[in-house]
Structures are given as C-alpha cells and as structure tokens.
Structure 1
Amino acid sequence: MNINYWGGGYGVPFRPYRHEVRDILIALVAMTIAFALLFNTLLSIGGLVATFIAVLTGFLGHELMHREVARRLGYIAYFRAWWIGLLLALVTALTRFFIIATPGATVIGPKVWGYPSRSDELKIALAGPATNIVFAVVFLPLWLLLPSPFSFYANIIYATNAWLGFFNMLPLALPGIMLDGFRVFRRDVRVWVITFVISVVLLIPSFIL
C-alpha cells in the first residue's frame, strides 16, 4: 500500500494514535468479511480463520510494519483507515470475481528525534512488501505439503501475501497514489530489482500449481 506522509504537529511516537486502535479493528473486520465473500469462506470456520490470518498478515501486517520501522527511525507514524476504501472493498467483493482493497494507509509525520536521511524512505517503503514476502515464503510450503483442507487454508494466506508483495513492488506513481515499489526504486534500483524478482518468483506457483 502507499504511504501517506503527513506534516501535522501532533501525535506521540511509540504510542497508539487516539483513533488508531479503532481504525485497525474496523479495517481488520471489514477486510476479513470482504475477502471471505471473495474466497467464499464466510460460512466455513476454518476458511474464515484462514481469511482472517490472510488479512492480518497481508494487509495490516504490511501497514503496521511500515509504522513500526518509521517509528524506530524516529518518525511519528500511525495507521489510518480509509472508510470509502473499506466500503469499496465490501461492495466489489460481492461480485465474487475481484476486489478493490484499499483499507487505509500508514501516515508518516515529522521526525521527532535524529536527522532525516535518504535511506529512511527506502527502509520504510520496503518494510511492507518485505513482510508480505516473508509470509508468502512461510505459507507456500505449507500449501504444498499439508493435507486438505489445511492446504486450501494455507493457500489463501500464501496467495494473498504473494499477490500483495508483487503488487506493492510495482514501480508505479499516479496522482494521489504512490506504491512502495516506486519509493524503493527511486532510492535504490538494486534493492528494488532484487525484491521485485523475489516477489515474481513467489507468485509463479499460484499460476502453475
């Protein structure tokens, strides 16, 4: 997901923003319902749990890792849900063919300790897709090795993270939307190439297996 950089003068690093817990919980519930509709797992306890884990790792894990790295670098950072995006995800999921998933973004404020560096943006932007890649690596062998129905559940988590890792590493920048891949690309092309190739390799099994 893209990171929104915010220049306000309030907020305390390392503590939840006053509405952050609310935004995280609402986004988590809404996205779980949306993906359960898409994956047709809403009426299956195992499938619903797998969908919840896919959303927890794929979306919120992605955004919260942006937040964690930014805070460790000295920036004010918090997650903000996008209500229109959550509604759009629920509506498009009803088609059962595709979903437009934009639950929110990590808002990055001013650096409150230390000095900003050119590598800060690279580290913050890379943190989200790298999280997806790690989870895809973990759940890919589980999908291949576990018996049914657990292989199906693992596939939901693997595929969600593999797709998000790949998508977010695309070097795209549009008005109002700048993907993590673009931020990584403009800071260090070599890091972008390595990470993008890994994301492509991880995505291939979802097509051929």
Structure 2
Amino acid sequence: MSHNYWGSGYGVPFKYRHEIRDIVIALIAMTIAFALLFGTLTSLGGLIATFIAVLTGFLAHELMHREAARRLGYIAYFKAWWVGLLLALATSFFHFIIALPGATVIGPKVWGYPSQRDELKIALAGPATNMVFAVVFLALWLVLPSSLFSYAYLVYATNAWLGFFNLIPLALPGMMLDGFRVFRRDTRVWALAFAISIALVIPYILSII
C-alpha cells in the first residue's frame, strides 16, 4: 500500500508536471494487477468493478491526502513509484499482491505555520476516504440484486481492508503508515478511527471464513 512522504523542503519541487501522467499510469496498472488477482480481467462488469475499487481504494485515498495538505497550505502532489507498480503487476500472477503504486509527496508549507495537527488531518484523510466508500458500497452490497451485488462487494471489501490496514500504527524503515502518524498525534482520534475501521472490515472477514 502506498504511503505519504513528507519532504524536508530541500529538493522538493513546487510543481510536478508529470502528476497527471503518473495518476493515469498508476490507475491503469493497478486495475490490471487487481483484475488479475480477482480474476475479473475477462469480465466487463468485473473489470469495471475492479477499476472502481482501485479508483476509490487507492487513487481517492492518495488524492485526499493531497487535497488535505494543499488546503492546509502545503505543496503536495502524487508521484508514482515505478518499481512498486511493476511489483504489483508481478505479484498479482501469484494470487497475492504487493500494492505500492506511489505516494503523496508533501513538501514545505507555503502559507501559515506547520503544526502537529496538520499531520493528523493529512494522515487521517486517506483512510477516512476508504471508510466512507466502504460504508456506501457495503450498503449497496446488501440491497443490490444478485446480478450486481458481487461487484459492490468487491469495491466494499477493497476499501474496508485498505481503511483498516492503513490505520495500523506501524512504522518501518522507509515506510510509515497513516495509522502511525495519527496515533502519535492523537491517540483518541486514532482509537475511534481504528474502531470504525474494524467494524467495517468485520463483514468482509466473516464472508471469507
């Protein structure tokens, strides 16, 4: 899963002119990777559902990090990670996936003063987006006719899992999950968000056991 990268301010460009290209390529590559993983590559309905799952689960997650950062006065843009995209495509052939399509690069603040609450808001924006989509598609999964509910389930499950996973308070060399950033800034906010993510992922877990 992708993670946001906070630049020190040195060497972080004010604009990244290849951002749209990176977004499009990441979206296409991740859709193919997940279609291979889910076995939906040859089904039009399944392929569309997979595209929506990637669009909401990954791209919307990263763009909400970007939007939150920009609203708080930071330079922010999405940058694809080519090795991560190739890794996602390669691993999808083996019935699992290592999904590291890219990250929201966050540079210096160009207006106002940085604060610890800024990191909390920016980090929470991504998983919160996943949880909102999980709620919407969980409801659709429960009410849609049998010919369509499996597609809603695919989008729900992707967002529920990513919302939960990203809120795990884990930090590794070179990668810090959103949950760790939220946890270190406000444990009460993290506990509430994590509890909601657990509640949303339970229907998915029950459906696969």
The answer to whether 1:10 aligns with 2:13 is yes
Q: What does 1:4-153 correspond to in 2, within 5 Å?
A: 4-6=5-7, 7=9, 8-12=11-15, 17-95=16-94, 97-153=95-151
CA distance in 1, matches of 2:173, 2:103: 16
The answer to whether 1:186 aligns with 2:184 is yes
- Aligned match for 2:175, one of 142, 163, 177: 177
Deviation string 1:11-33 (CA, Å, 9 cap, x unpaired) is 15xxxx20100000000000000
CA distance in 2, matches of 1:80, 1:111: 18
Q: CA deviation at 1:117?
A: 1.2
Q: Sort the Cα spacing of 1:90 and 1:9 in 2 relative to 1 into closer, same or farther, 3 A.
A: closer
CA distance in 2, matches of 1:125, 1:20: 20
Code of the residue aligned with 2:14 in structure 1: it is G
Q: CA deviation at 1:71?
A: 0.3
Unaligned 5+ residue runs, structure 1? none
- Structure 1 runs, 4 residues or longer, greater than 6 Å off: none
Q: CA deviation at 1:9?
A: 4.9
CA distance in 1, matches of 2:80, 2:12: 20
CA distance in 2, matches of 1:80, 1:10: 12
Identity %: 74
Q: Sort the Cα spacing of 1:176 and 1:9 in 2 relative to 1 into closer, same or farther, 3 A.
A: closer
Q: Sort the Cα spacing of 1:99 and 1:9 in 2 relative to 1 into closer, same or farther, 3 A.
A: closer
Partner SS, residue 108 of structure 2: strand
CA distance in 1, matches of 2:139, 2:203: 11
Deviation string 1:137-189 (CA, Å, 9 cap, x unpaired) is 00001111211231010011000000000000000001101000000000000
Unaligned 5+ residue runs, structure 2? none
Code of the residue aligned with 2:41 in structure 1: it is L
User: Normalising to structure 2: TM-score of the pair?
Assistant: 0.95
CA distance in 2, matches of 1:77, 1:9: 10
Code of the residue aligned with 2:76 in structure 1: it is A
RMSD: 0.9
Q: After alignment, is 143-152 or 119-128 more displaced?
A: 143-152
